[in-house]
Structure 1
């Protein structure tokens, strides 16, 4: 039952190591083209939440976001602790989300912002906001969790129907 916590730890370490490497290699705001018209490595600072929302609020949001993230981590940790052994999909999702949330929480507490570095774009037409390993883990975990919940709801409907 410890494997989701191990997964969270692996995500946390991978996130922090990649951010340290980016900070050592690139000045803030700098970037390197990895795949022309598609993928750059950048050194970006995000003081907000997903997609940079709330980043232009003068800094007061950083401790609030850190506190909310801390509460979410505790709630998800309790949920994970109480899960049964058979709920592997939910355990996987929670391990990914907790690991990612911890990675971004450490940045917020230590730096006052989250370091993002993956910059995906299509030529100059479309630019997805920069993200990091933690963001990816949170996103994948959320998708897995939604899939598990949909599957459980469909199973419950089948059971009620017949």
Structure 2
């Protein structure tokens, strides 16, 4: 059941990116809440917050290692970890694969969700896969730090 979630995360991510390309690419941002939330098309050739631009091979190698490590861990230790840790790892896995598909297929990751805090801070544009990666990472880190990961 949890592995079906990986597929659902990937499908949700890829469909949302397809829509971003179709409806946002080459157009002005679609403002949902003025000076707070908008949808805008961005091609991210780097990592989170646009760091390490144009390192496609590096990101493909690192992401491959991360994906294989998560799959190995889930297969080997699935019986001894709790459902929350599995859920966090599944979110990480689905998000990583979603962005991995973009890097292999396009050479960059499609980002389109943009938040601003007033007129002062413009949060980096992100996508659905990024949301799952961040939430999954927070969940896994919290469980590990609190020593609450075994079943």
The alignment's TM-score, normalised by the length of structure 1, stands at 0.86
**Secondary structure at the residue paired with 2:40?**
strand
1:98 and 2:96 matched: no
- Figure out how many residues of one structure are paired with residues of the other and give that number: 148
How big is the shift at 1:33? 0.7
Structure 1: gaps of 5 or more residues: 156-162
Q: Residue 122 of structure 1 corresponds to which residue in structure 2?
A: 117
CA distance in 2: counterparts of 1:46 and 1:120, whole angstroms: 16
Q: Residue 109 of structure 1 corresponds to which residue in structure 2?
A: 104
The alignment's TM-score, normalised by the length of structure 2, stands at 0.92
How big is the shift at 1:30? 3.6
Pairing partner for 1:134 from 126, 129, 133 = 129
Q: Residue 63 of structure 1 corresponds to which residue in structure 2?
A: 57
Q: Residue 158 of structure 1 corresponds to which residue in structure 2?
A: none
How big is the shift at 1:68? 1.1
Q: Residue 48 of structure 2 corresponds to which residue in structure 1?
A: 50
Change (3 A) 1:147 1:99: same
Q: Residue 72 of structure 1 corresponds to which residue in structure 2?
A: 66
Q: Residue 37 of structure 2 corresponds to which residue in structure 1?
A: 39
Which structure has the greater CA radius of gyration? 1
State which drifts further: 23-32 or 3-12: 23-32
1:13 and 2:11 matched: yes
Change (3 A) 1:146 1:29: farther
Report the RMSD for the aligned CA atoms in angstroms. 1.6
**Secondary structure at the residue paired with 2:46?**
coil
